[in-house]
Amino acid sequence: MRIGLEIKIRNVDREIIARIDDLAKGMKVSRSEFLRRQLESIALRPEITECEDRYSRLVELVCDRIEKNNALLSRILDGSEYIFIEEESMEEKDEDEKSFSLI
């Protein structure tokens, strides 16, 4: 079992305490639980920010790769259409040559 330490904060304005209580009530947790979550969030913020930054860079990299792959596929498809057209003309020439040789 993990025993937590206590933190005591002095001289907090009553209005701030009331807002914290309203926020905690909206989350259906106690003031202590609300503040504990907030403190954890503050303490973990650098790691979360680093993780978010790495994720953003990864998304950018994946998007860049997808764009490059799409461009390459377009070039391949354009080339294959050209090859397909060229093959059809070669087949037509072959047919013409066969016709010519039969005559």
The answer to whether position 84 is within a domain reads yes
Q: What residues make up the domain containing 32? A: 14-102
Contact 31, 20 (CB under 8 A): yes
pLDDT in tens, 44-54: 999 999 999 99
The answer to whether position 77 is within a domain reads yes
The answer to whether position 4 is within a domain reads no
Tokens, residue 90: 């070669």
Which single residue is written with the structure tokens 């930054």? 53
The answer to whether position 7 is within a domain reads no
Domain total of the chain: 1
Q: Write the CA distances from 64 to 56, 71, 72, integer angstroms.
A: 12, 11, 12
**Predicted local confidence at residue 88, as pLDDT:** 61
Q: Write the CA distances from 62 to 58, 73, 87, integer angstroms.
A: 6, 16, 36
Indicate the pLDDT class of residue 101, thresholds 50, 70 and 90: very low
Average pLDDT over residues 67-91: 73
Between residues 20 and 101, which one has the greater pLDDT? 20
Q: What are phi and psi of 12, to 5 degrees?
A: -95, 130
Mean residue pLDDT of the chain comes to 83
The answer to whether position 9 is within a domain reads no
Whether the per-residue pLDDT at 102 is higher than 60: the answer is no
pLDDT in tens, 33-44: 999 999 999 999
Q: Write the CA distances from 66 to 53, 54, 55, 62, integer angstroms.
A: 20, 18, 16, 6
